[in-house]
Amino acid sequence: MKGKVISLHGKKKWTLAAVAALLVILVVTGVILWCTREQTTKERPQVTEIYGIPVHTVLIPETLPGRPGIKRKVKYIVIHETGNPSKGADAKAHSDYLLNGGEGTTSWHYTVDDHEIYHHIPDSEVSWNAGDQRKEPGGNMNGISIELCVNSDGDFEKTFDNGARLTAYLLKAYGLRIEDVKQHNDFNGKNCPQTIRESGRWQEFLDLTQRYLKQEEK
């Protein structure tokens, strides 16, 4: 009889240990899930226009190296220029280019021209745009990248304006500040956005973005 009592006590101790271990696992799992939630950005609702500018969401396939599918926390809006002055090199042309594989891993979230916007990669996913690899925090890992078209048959002034409108919209959508708008140059030293930089118009772009942001907040 004494032996049976010891056995029951032993089972009770093992049961309590198992319950305690399970509670620890649940707590740790909860912490991990909470941290993961904090480190990733929830995708904004899809829209078909921003400030009256048509938006075409044409996502590149997840099978292409330019869309790694890595979820992340959005911290910046990164402004680029396509550097392609060819006639016809508008937002749709760049969308088609990415859909056909582009330059391999190089990719970005949006292309803007003088009359429309193309959305290529979900905002909540990484694009390989800033040339800073997997640096944290960095342009690749934490930036929403916007390419402004410089095609010779386009109106760059209108593209400039449309880019500021999109930037303001994204700042509002993700709770970012004007200080979070960056140049490609800030992350790897490349002279990009070239036209804006060389014409000394960066502060003008920020001021215009701020103006639209204030309109968005009303």
Same-domain pairing of 107 and 33: no
Same-domain pairing of 100 and 199: yes
Radius of gyration of the chain (CA): 24
Q: Is residue 86 part of a domain?
A: yes
Same-domain pairing of 34 and 93: no
Same-domain pairing of 153 and 180: yes
Same-domain pairing of 202 and 100: yes
Question: Can you spell out the DSSP letters for 184-217?
Answer: THHHH----SHHHHHTT-HHHHHHHHHHHHHHHH
User: How many Å apart are CA 111 and CA 125, to the nearest integer?
Assistant: 16
pLDDT of residue 41: 86
Same-domain pairing of 23 and 127: no
What average pLDDT does range 19-35 have in this prediction?
A: 55
Q: Is residue 44 part of a domain?
A: no
Find, among 161, 200, 199, 202, the residue nearest to 78 by Cα. 202
Domains held by the chain: number = 2
Length of the chain: 218
What average pLDDT does range 27-47 have in this prediction?
A: 64
Does the pLDDT value for residue 77 go beyond 60?
A: yes
Angle of helix 202-217 versus helix 156-173 axis, rounded to 10: 50
Task: Give the bridge partners for 117, in sequence order.
Answer: 55, 112
What average pLDDT does range 62-71 have in this prediction?
A: 95
Domain encompassing residue 139: 49-217
Does the pLDDT value for residue 217 go beyond 70?
A: no
Same-domain pairing of 68 and 130: yes
Same-domain pairing of 97 and 171: yes
Same-domain pairing of 26 and 104: no
- pTM of the predicted protein model: 0.82
Does the pLDDT value for residue 31 go beyond 50?
A: no
Q: Is residue 83 part of a domain?
A: yes
What average pLDDT does range 139-148 have in this prediction?
A: 98
**Long-range contact list for 29-32, CB < 8 A, 24+ apart?**
none
Task: Give the bridge partners for 111, in sequence order.
Answer: 118, 147
Q: Is residue 78 part of a domain?
A: yes
Does the pLDDT value for residue 154 go beyond 70?
A: yes
Distance between terminal CA atoms of the chain? Answer: 80
Q: Is residue 180 part of a domain?
A: yes
85 token code pair: 């002055």
CATH number of the domain bearing residue 91: 3.40.80.10
